[in-house]
Chain A
C-alpha cells in the first residue's frame, strides 16, 4: 500500500461546488510526483483538502495516509502524522518570529509522538539545527528573528516554507507552486531540499506550472490535472511535452487554456 493513497477523491467548497472530481493517485516513499495543470483546475484545492482546510471538504472517495483515512483527522493530527503542505500563499503571523513558530511546531509534533507528554526539543539542539538548515537553504540569519511571513518578499516566504519542511521532516510533502516567484538560485536550492528530503521514508507531490523546477527535481511521475481530474500520466517526458504543447490537447471541447 502506498503511503499516500487517493481513491476517487472528491472535494467540494462550502457552497457545494465540486472542485476535485475523482482523483486516483498513489505516492510511496522514495517517489517524487509532479502535478501540473492550468490555473483554476483545482490543484490547490486538492492540496488544502489533503491537509484538512475547513473550506475544502472531502465529499467522496478517500484519502489514506499510512492507511488511515485523513478525513477523520484535524489538520494538526495530519501534520503530526507526517503530512506537510508548503503553501502557495503562506500566511503571516505577526508578532511570532520564525524561530518561535518553528519551535512551537516541532514541540507540538514531538508531544504528539510522545503520546501527549511534553517533550520539548532542547534549545541548543534546536538552534544548531535551525542555523544549519538556514545556511544550507541560504536564508539570511536575520530572517529567523522576523515575524513569520510578515512583510517577507515572495521568494523569502517560499524559502521559509522549505525551511519548515526541512525542520519538520515530514513523510509526505506536498509543495504547492513553491517554485513560483523564485530566482534561479533559490529554485535550485528548493529542488535540492526536496531531493534531500525524499528517501526510503519520504515521498513528495510537487505542484507546478513549470518544467524549470522539474529539471532539477527529476520527478518519477508526472500527472496532468485538468478540471478536477487527472487526465494523463507519464514519466518526466510528459512535462516536456506539456511545456511545448500546452494543455490544449487535454482541455474539454471549447475551453481555453
Chain B
C-alpha cells in the first residue's frame, strides 16, 4: 500500500474513545496526534541509555535519522527500506496509531539474521525521545532466519524527563524455525510524552522467543504486545516489569495467539504504582481450533504503593480447541503494612523498607531475564523510583 493510501486510512479511522472496549481505561482526551511536528529534522538531544553493555551492533534513532554506529559481519543491520516485502505483514494498518505509523514512519531499522547465524553479543538500538512538540515514528523489522540465535535490545529513553513529545512505534518480529531470539524493549520515555506502540511477533516451528518489556516512562498511551504461535512446538515467553508514579498512566494490551499445535506461551507482568499513577493490563489468550496441546499462561500482578494509585487487570480467554491448558492469574495488592513494620523494626527507613519489599515483589519476574545487565538495570531502575526518604 502506498503512503498516500495509508494516510487516507489513518485519517478515516476514528480517534479511539473510552467507549471502545479496549480503550475503556485509557482516555485520550487532550491528545491530538496531528498536532506534533512529524520527524522534525533537527536532531534532539541524544538518547540516554539505561544500560552499560558490550554489544555486537549499535544503532541510534532520533528525529534527524538513523545512525548505524556499529554493525556485525554476516547479518543485515541497516536502514529499513519502505518496500520491504514483510513490512506490515504482522502489524496491519487497521488500528489508528499503527496506521499513522505505517503512513508516516521515516527512520526504521532492519535486523535480518541469516540461517544458522549465532551472535554472542546483543544488538542494541537506542531510540530518542522526540523533542517538545515533535513526533517520532519508529519502525523496526526483525527477521530471524531458521536456526539463528541472537538478542536484540530496543531502548527508548529520554535525556530530559519533561519533554512533551509523541512517540509511536511499530515492531514486527519474524522468528523462523528453530530460531532463538531474545528481544528486550525498554521504555523510559519522558513523563510528558505520549507513547503508542504495536509489537507483534510470529514464532515459527520449534522456535523460541524470549521477550522482556520494561515500562517506566511516558505520560499515557498504549503498548500492544502480540505473539502468534504459528509453528508447531513454538514457545514464547514475555516478561514485563513496569513502574509508574505521579500522574502517569500505562496501558498494556497483550495477545497470545495459538495457531499451531503443541505451542507454549508464558506471559508474566508485574507492575508497581505510586502516587496517583494508574495502569491497565489486558491479556487475551486465543487458541485456534488446530492448536491442540496448547499450553498458555498469563499473569499480571500489581503492587500499589500509595492509596490513590490504581490498577485494572483484565485477563481473557478465547479457546476453540479442546485439548489445551490455559491458566491465568491477576492480583492488585497494597504494600503490606505488617511487612513494612517488620522491616522497619530491623532498622530500615520507610523508603528503604519499601524498596526492599518492591525488589522482593519483582524478584521472580527479574529472575526470568536471561541477560544479566538487563536484569540488573531493570532492578535498579525499579528501586530508583522510590524516593530517598
Query: Chain B residues with Cβ under 8 A from A94's Cβ?
Result: 360-361, 363
Asked if A105 is at the interface (CB within 8 A of a chain B CB), the reply is yes
Residue of A nearest to B352 (CB): A108
Contact, CB under 8 Å: A109 / B342: no
CB distance from A145 to the nearest CB of B (A): 12
Asked if A151 is at the interface (CB within 8 A of a chain B CB), the reply is no
With A53-B341, A75-B341, A108-B352 known to touch, is A93 a contact of B347 (CB < 8 Å)?
A: no
State the CA gap A127–B92 with chains docked (Å).
Answer: 56
Stretch of A17-25, A79-87, A134-142, A187-195 on the interface side: A79-87
Residue of A nearest to B343 (CB): A93
Complex interface residues of chain A between 121 and 159 (CB less than 8 A to chain B): 147
Contact, CB under 8 Å: A79 / B338: no
State the CA gap A90–B337 with chains docked (Å).
Answer: 13
State the CA gap A241–B346 with chains docked (Å).
Answer: 36
Residue of A nearest to B389 (CB): A76
Query: Chain A residues with Cβ under 8 A from B166's Cβ?
Result: none
Q: Which of A51, A75, A78, A91 contacts B339 (CB 8 A)?
A: A91
CB distance from B362 to the nearest CB of A (A): 7
Residue of B nearest to A106 (CB): B347
Contact, CB under 8 Å: A109 / B347: yes
Return the CB mask of B59-90 against A: 1 if under 8 Å, else 0.
Answer: 00000000000000000000000000000000
CB distance from B100 to the nearest CB of A (A): 40
Q: Which of B344, B349, B357 contacts A96 (CB 8 A)?
A: B357
Query: Chain B residues with Cβ under 8 A from A208's Cβ?
Result: none
With A91-B338, A93-B357, A96-B360 known to touch, is A79 a contact of B350 (CB < 8 Å)?
A: no
Asked if B356 is at the interface (CB within 8 A of a chain A CB), the reply is yes
State the CA gap A110–B338 with chains docked (Å).
Answer: 24
Query: Chain B residues with Cβ under 8 A from A109's Cβ?
Result: 347
Asked if A74 is at the interface (CB within 8 A of a chain B CB), the reply is yes
Residue of A nearest to B342 (CB): A91
Q: Which of B343, B347, B359 contacts A95 (CB 8 A)?
A: B359
CB distance from A188 to the nearest CB of B (A): 25
Asked if A104 is at the interface (CB within 8 A of a chain B CB), the reply is yes
CB distance from A149 to the nearest CB of B (A): 9
Asked if A112 is at the interface (CB within 8 A of a chain B CB), the reply is yes
CB distance from B366 to the nearest CB of A (A): 9
CB distance from A71 to the nearest CB of B (A): 15
State the CA gap A75–B352 with chains docked (Å).
Answer: 13
Asked if B160 is at the interface (CB within 8 A of a chain A CB), the reply is no
Query: Chain B residues with Cβ under 8 A from A164's Cβ?
Result: 346
Complex interface residues of chain A between 188 and 233 (CB less than 8 A to chain B): none
With A54-B337, A54-B341, A75-B344 known to touch, is A95 a contact of B361 (CB < 8 Å)?
A: yes
Asked if B364 is at the interface (CB within 8 A of a chain A CB), the reply is yes
CB distance from B271 to the nearest CB of A (A): 15
Query: Chain A residues with Cβ under 8 A from B339's Cβ?
Result: 91-93
Asked if A9 is at the interface (CB within 8 A of a chain B CB), the reply is no
State the CA gap A205–B359 with chains docked (Å).
Answer: 33
Q: Which of A93, A112, A147, A168 has the most CB of B within 10 A?
A: A93
With A74-B350, A76-B349, A76-B350 known to touch, is A93 a contact of B344 (CB < 8 Å)?
A: no
Contact, CB under 8 Å: B346 / A168: yes
State the CA gap A100–B346 with chains docked (Å).
Answer: 13
Asked if A250 is at the interface (CB within 8 A of a chain B CB), the reply is no
State the CA gap A104–B343 with chains docked (Å).
Answer: 9
Asked if A101 is at the interface (CB within 8 A of a chain B CB), the reply is yes
Query: Chain B residues with Cβ under 8 A from A106's Cβ?
Result: 347
Contact, CB under 8 Å: A104 / B344: no
CB distance from A234 to the nearest CB of B (A): 30
Asked if B348 is at the interface (CB within 8 A of a chain A CB), the reply is yes
Residue of B nearest to A55 (CB): B337
State the CA gap A159–B271 with chains docked (Å).
Answer: 33
Asked if A52 is at the interface (CB within 8 A of a chain B CB), the reply is yes
With A93-B360, A95-B364, A96-B363 known to touch, is A108 a contact of B349 (CB < 8 Å)?
A: yes
Contact, CB under 8 Å: B347 / A168: yes
State the CA gap A91–B357 with chains docked (Å).
Answer: 12
Residue of A nearest to B349 (CB): A76
Asked if B345 is at the interface (CB within 8 A of a chain A CB), the reply is yes
Query: Chain B residues with Cβ under 8 A from A96's Cβ?
Result: 356-357, 359-360, 363
State the CA gap A86–B161 with chains docked (Å).
Answer: 44
State the CA gap A109–B345 with chains docked (Å).
Answer: 11
State the CA gap A53–B340 with chains docked (Å).
Answer: 10
CB distance from B243 to the nearest CB of A (A): 15
State the CA gap A222–B358 with chains docked (Å).
Answer: 42
Contact, CB under 8 Å: A91 / B359: no
Asked if B336 is at the interface (CB within 8 A of a chain A CB), the reply is yes
State the CA gap A95–B361 with chains docked (Å).
Answer: 6
Contact, CB under 8 Å: A80 / B347: yes
State the CA gap A112–B348 with chains docked (Å).
Answer: 10
Residue of A nearest to B363 (CB): A95
10 tightest A-B CB contacts, nearest first:
A95-B360, A95-B363, A79-B347, A105-B346, A96-B360, A75-B344, A109-B347, A108-B347, A91-B342, A76-B344
Q: Can you report 9 residue pairs joining A to B where beta carbons are below 8 Å apart?
A: A76-B345, A79-B346, A94-B360, A95-B364, A96-B363, A101-B346, A105-B347, A105-B348, A164-B346
Q: Which residues on B are within 8 Å of A, measured CB to CB? A: 336-339, 341-350, 352-353, 356-357, 359-364
